[in-house]
Amino acid sequence: MRIFDPHIHMTSRTTDDYQRMAAAGVRALVEPAFWLGQPRTGPGSFADYFDSLVGWEPFRAAQFGIRHHATIALNPKEANDPRCREALALVPRYLDKDSVVAVGEVGYDAMTPEEDEVFAAQLAMAVEYELPALVHTPHRDKARGVDRTLAVVEESGLAPERVVVDHLNEVTVAAVHDAGCWMGFSIYPDTKMSPDRMVDILRDHGLDRILVNSAADWGRSDPLLTLRTGEAMLAAGFTADDVDKVLWRNPVEFYGQSGRLDLTESAATAATFEGSSILRGGS
């Protein structure tokens, strides 16, 4: 099983996790910019984080033959903090980087006027930089948040097939399906979605325009839940080709719209000399 995790916060994971993911079949991933568990206090903190997403994390991933791409944005939670607002001005510069394949995570957290403004501004950047957009949906008041999200996306002029609306569930999937956007699902041990519930959604809505991710962030999460979802699909009677479509070809198709997805095998080891510091356990 080859796996492309289209949304995983590797910054919060140990290097051992990269090793386990590679062993489980993960060959590529996209790490969206979001918060860091602890709120940031200014734009400098964002610059360091964005640098890491286009520098250190791809290097760390390459040690295990995993291709690492990123999405860049000022996230909706911190769009509300005036100390962090200047980070919005940093975003365009990072949208020019080779490994940045979308604008994201944008969207709503608490649906404030500040979030409205930052969301719209960053969708306009997606249009300008010809990139897809990864849209986070709120965990509270989700159904209305999704409706409002879809209205803002429509107004932005960004084509729906260039937008993934993420963290969906049984209640919110239909509206996104009907809007023509891609549907993202985060599989978690307890919250959001489980592998078995994901299989039911695939049965009801088909395999097109669906992205399955582990998100794997600072909460209780598991970077191998993409694999577990593939296994649950097979157990439920889906074919190996169906699994490959959902866990590999769909994310390749979605992020491929950036024109920047680089999945060449040889590059996987280009970042290492014989026995790199990480594999050797160096500091």
Partner 1 sequence: MDLHNPWLDAGVARVAADPAAITRLFAAAARHCGRADLPDPPGWTADQAARARLLLALPATELPGRLDDLYRHGDATEKLAVLKALPLLPIGAAAVPLLHDAIRTNDTRLVAAALGPYARHLDQAAWRQAVLKCVFMGIPLAVVDGLTDRADPELAVMTAGLRDEREAAGRPFPDDARTLLDKIETEV
Contacts for 193 with CB less than 8 Å, ≥ 6 apart = 168, 169, 185, 186, 187, 201
Q: Is 44 a residue that touches partner 1 (CB under 8 A)?
A: no
d(CA 186, CA 136): 11
Biggest CA-to-CA distance, the chain: 53
Q: Is 280 a residue that touches partner 1 (CB under 8 A)?
A: yes
For partner 1, the binding residue among 23, 44, 89, 93 (CB under 8 A) is 93
For partner 1, the binding residue among 44, 55, 189, 206 (CB under 8 A) is 55
For partner 1, the binding residue among 39, 83, 96, 269 (CB under 8 A) is 96
Q: Is 99 a residue that touches partner 1 (CB under 8 A)?
A: yes
Q: Is 282 a residue that touches partner 1 (CB under 8 A)?
A: yes
Q: For the chain, percent helix, then strand, then coil, each to nearest 5? A: 45, 15, 40
β-pair type (210-213, 182-186)? parallel
For partner 1, the binding residue among 20, 85, 97, 245 (CB under 8 A) is 97
Q: Is 265 a residue that touches partner 1 (CB under 8 A)?
A: no
Q: What is the dihedral of CA 35, 40, 46, 48, to 10 degrees?
A: -110
**For residue 256, what are its two tokens?**
């491929």
Stretch that binds partner 1, among 95-103, 105-113, 147-155, 233-241 (CB under 8 A): 95-103
The DSSP 8-state label assigned to residue 12 in this structure reads G
Number of chain residues interacting with partner 1 (CB under 8 A): 26
Q: Is 19 a residue that touches partner 1 (CB under 8 A)?
A: no
Stretch that binds partner 1, among 6-14, 49-57, 146-154, 199-207 (CB under 8 A): 49-57
